[in-house]
Copies of this chain bind each other. A is one copy, B any other.
Amino acid sequence: MQKITELELRALDAPINLADGHPRQELTESQRKIIERLPEIFEASRRQPFEEIGRSAQEKFFAALGQNAAPVASCRVFSIYSSSVATMMLGTVLGGLGHRVGLLHPTFDNISDILARHVEIAPVSEQACLEADVGRIAGFGVTCLFLTVPNNPTGWVLERSELARIISMCARRDLLLCLDTSFRGFDVRAQFDYYELLEHADIDYVVIEDTGKLWPLAELKLGFMTVSERLRPHVQDVFNDVLLSVSPFVAKLVELMADEAMDGGLDTLHKLIASNRAEVDAALSFLDGVELAEPEARVSVCRIRFPSARLAHAVRTGLAATGVHVLPCEPFHWARPEEGARMLRLALARDPSVLADGLAALRSVAARAARNGS
């Protein structure tokens, strides 16, 4: 099975790229004003002490997403080049500590790929997590639970009480809790303060956050890895192998974008994604038996479900032939790919016109494929 990133790479310069979940919409007017100031931001980033810049970026970003109890002041948030580099570091730490990991299923395949290089992993369903079902989560001798929330590609989220229940379970069973919250910014339901719960519980935890999904900044981004006190030395050790510091220029840019996000930018983004999701839904209404798999999701990707795996496959390859790239969902179902075979994933962080062109192609390719009996 091909990796998702391989498929995304092929779509990178395609006429219509609805494959990767990176933000590719146009900048808003207020974001553009920040870009106009880049030379000044560059200069400022060379003058100010890095510690101030780094902390400020963390504080503003966490504040914009409601995470005010994050332990920024106690230096337990590490800034890294990207969330995937953070995952790679985490894999090294988990391997060193001899963990066995229960990993959410489905989720983005690079998490399972990275972790499996260091530790044994077993799939855990969203439903088992919602129910904090110890039997289905910790059965395989699991010592660590790794969740992507909001989940990519499903948009699955946890309510405050559900996260609290999972945390209690982890405390009771002495499970390390790892969360990848890269898509948090899209969903206000994931913006209650996770750290208030995590910091007050007697558990070890790691949270990976990502600035890279929100703003179309040509991949200028940071990953953050927040850790509980006991894990800090382990993470610091791996961190020291890899970097002295992230770019203060990027950190300053993140700070300014976070300010803009709080100042209305996040609302604007949410409206774009919601409206794009509604456009997908509307386009599907013309296609028999094709529907949004998770209509309640708010993340910047959506899945569409076809009546058959054959049709889903025919549509994806047919679209690719016309220069429109979307993703198959098998790789997300990293342990049981067949469960994703009827679904395709579409990116929503795109300009409406780009999406509209993609949807027009989807309608025509899907109708033709259905007629041809795929």
Q: Which residues of A contact B (CB under 8 A)?
A: 3, 5-6, 8-9, 12-13, 20, 22, 35-39, 42-43, 45-46, 49-51, 81-82, 84-85, 88, 92, 96, 110, 113-114, 117, 216-221, 237, 240-250
Contacts and interface: CB of A to CB of B under 8 A. Distances in A.
Contacts of A247: 218-221
A13 B249 contact: no
A20 B244 contact: yes
B110 A50 contact: no
B51 A12 contact: yes
A13 B244 contact: no
A184 to B, nearest CB: 20
Contact of A110 (B5, B216, B241): B241
B49 A13 contact: yes
A241 B35 contact: no
A34 to B, nearest CB: 10
A252 to B, nearest CB: 9
> A-B pairs with the 10 shortest C-beta distances?
A219-B247, A38-B38, A218-B249, A13-B49, A81-B81, A5-B240, A45-B218, A3-B240, A113-B241, A110-B241
A42 B35 contact: yes
Contact of A240 (B45, B110, B245, B248): B110
